[in-house]
Structure 1
Amino acid sequence: MIKYLLKLPIWVILSSVIAYICSCIFLFFYQPRLIFFPSANLEKTPLYFNISYQDVWLPVEVPNKKSQLIHAWWMKADKPSNKVLLYLHGNGLNIGANINRANFFRELGFSVLLIDYRGYGRSQGSFPRESQVYQDAVAAWNYLHNKQKIPSEQIFIYGHSLGGAIAVDLAAKKSDAAGLIVESSFTSIRDMVALKKMFSIFPVDLILTQRFESSKKLSNLKMPVLFIHGLNDSTVPAFMSRNLYTLAPEPKKLVMIPDAGHNDVAEVAPHEYEQAVLSLVEMSKFAAAN
């Protein structure tokens, strides 16, 4: 390869080197836009499904500025319940695209807090980054725990896809949570990049700033964990949930759904999904009693 390159005109070599360096710089600074795909347009609200809800605005601290507000919907269960779900959605669209999935948990008896990260939906802030979405999840937890006065042991944390990585990070910080549900998520962004051959020519470990390293945080979990994944997921391969499950401490459960993709696990297998969530609730009760 070196002998071949030396035969090229010097201007071709220099142009190639400059283009390569510029590509590295572009990926270093632009990578959040390759990970997050927010939308400001809320196509639906809970009223679309005849769900009563409350708009909630949660402050997050911003260095050298006034706090910014993230937007959330607080949807109480139809019947009095001591189960609460903090819902952390994936990297696309906003909470308006997640109402139906969130309502699935309401129908299982959970009250649900569904939040938009900064830069999504009606939340303030510019384009999101990894550190910011972690802060937004903590702000949502604080709202439930401090404002709504909900005991930590009644709060379940749920995350789908990228939201699963955010959920793992939050659960590692809040060891007294009732339980954690990680759906269709990955081990790390580094592992996801490794699946894309187009990035193999770049020094990924030097460039990568948005890491979402769930696999390194699982050992800090202190609550029951449910991993659930569709075997036909073409976005995040199902083996990543298997790897997460292997790394997580007990008590834990892994449910793999045949014929399900990245976004339709509950729709493809509603009964299996419901039983998996209810089994997590039972694991949480057992862990609390012991």
Structure 2
Amino acid sequence: MILNKLQLGLQLLLLLGIVAAIAYVAICLFLFVRQPHYIFFPSHVIEKTPEFFNLSYEDVYLPVLTRSGKVEHIHGWWIKSNQPNTRVLLYLHGNGINIGANISHANRFYQLGFSVLLIDYRGYGRSEGVFPNEKRVYQDAATAWNYLVQQRQISPSQIFLYGHSLGGAIAIDLAVKVPEAAGLIVESSFTCIQELIAYRNLFRVFPVDLILTQRFASIKKLSQLKIPVLFIHGTVDSTVPSFMSQKLYAVAPEPKTLILVPGAEHNNVAVVANMEYLQWVKAFIQQVHIRRLSNII
């Protein structure tokens, strides 16, 4: 009888082990398929437009060809500067909401004399398409670049790339592909998704490296960068720690600049820094200008 109970107990343990293993594999498969939903948080509701700042702007819809041959359109705002220069900023926002949540910061660059193009990746705002993923947002950023160069006839040497948080990773990917761009500004961004997951102590019981498809491995790409780069990060950023910008800075080629903003969080760097933020960007623009002149001479 004791032997029968022991056998029954072992069989129960074996059954529980099998159930647990199946559940573990099922969760891994779920994370493999659904992981973009843990990275991207789009909204279709645009709560603020450039009109909020009395800015004249143009709605643009840029065609993107999908693998299936279907054409989808990404939406953006073209805000042309009224100042006599052709300097342009391609603004790539982070993983949340849409361009409507970024118009206030875009206005800062406009006040510095930039014409600004803000785009929403597919699945965000008024842009078409299914839920975003890493490959799609890279393609969307490249589409915006091509629009500026080919349709707007803007010289690549006059186009600066700006990316915040996840947008920083997208901007880095694009900057490596377009070495003729003027410069790159990366704000509050990370080294790679894998390190960010490890830092936050998320999904530690799962084989993250095996199931991760959305990598955004900026730190592996930066060695190929051919243009000046400015990194900005708040020192008390609880979303993306500032040491990640320090790591990005360490591997980026010269010319490069790193500015750490005391007391600034993930989304309020420019607010905390106030006028200093504009001075940093101005200084970076001047650095790029001097570099271009020296190359011509």
TM-score normalised per structure 2: 0.94
Other-structure match for 2:88: 84
Q: Which runs of 4+ in 1 moved over 6 A?
A: none
Offset of 1:113 from its aligned partner? 0.1
Match of 1:276 in 2: 280
Decide which of 10, 20, 43 is 2:14's aligned counterpart: 10
2:57 is the alignment partner of 1:53: yes
In the aligned structure 1, how far is the partner of 2:174 from the partner of 2:85? Answer: 23
- Indicate the SS of the match to 1:197: coil
Identity of aligned residues (%): 60
Q: CA deviation at 1:81?
A: 1.9
In the TM superposition, what is the alpha-carbon distance from 1:8 to its structure 2 partner?
A: 7.0
Within the alignment, does 1:130 sit opposite 2:165 as a pair? no
Which runs of structure 2 are paired with 1:228-239 in the superposition (5 Å)?
A: 228-239=232-243
Is the contact made by 1:171 and 1:221 (CA closer than 8 Å) also made in structure 2? yes
* 1:200-215 superposed matches below 5 A: 200-215=204-219
Q: Deviations over 1:29-52 (max 9, x none)?
A: 000000000000111111111111
Q: Which amino acid aligns with 2:69?
A: K
Letter in 2 for 1:27: L
1:218 has 2:227 as partner: no
Q: 1:246 aligns with which of 235, 244, 250?
A: 250
Match of residue 149, structure 2, among 145, 148, 154: 145
Higher CA-based Rg: 2
Aligned equivalent of 2:36? 32
What is the one-letter code of the residue matched to 1:234?
A: S
Whether contact under 8 Å (1:157, 1:167) holds in the other structure is yes
Residue aligned with 1:9, SS: helix
Instruction: Note the residue ranges of structure 1 that are not aligned, 5 or more in a row.
Output: 1-5
The DSSP-based 3-state class of the residue aligned with 1:217 is helix
TM-superposed CA distance for 1:10, in Å, is 1.5
Task: Give the stretch that moved more between structures: 158-167 or 195-204.
Answer: 195-204
Pairwise CA distance, 1:80: 2.2
The one of 170, 176, 196 aligned to 2:200: 196
1:74 matched residue in structure 2: 78
Distance 1:268 1:22, change over 3 A: same
1:184 maps onto 2:209 in alignment: no
Name the structure 2 match of 1:161.
165
Per-residue CA deviation, residues 134-163 of structure 1 (Å, 9 max, x unaligned), is 000000001110111100000000000000
3-state SS, counterpart of residue 114 of structure 1 = strand
1-structure distance, mates of 2:199, 2:16: 30
Q: Distance in 2 between matches of 1:97 and 1:43?
A: 7
Give the letter for the 1:176 counterpart. E
Q: CA deviation at 1:7?
A: 9.8
CA distance in 2, matches of 1:239, 1:196: 14
Do residues 286 (structure 1) and 268 (structure 2) align? no
Question: What whole-Å deviation, never above 9, does each CA across 1:151-177 have from its counterpart, x for those lacking one?
Answer: 000000000000000000000000010
One-letter amino acid of the counterpart of residue 177, structure 1: A
Q: Secondary structure at the match of 1:31?
A: helix
Unaligned runs of 5+ in 2: 1-9
TM normalised by structure 1 equals 0.96
Contact preservation (8 Å) 1:78, 1:106: no
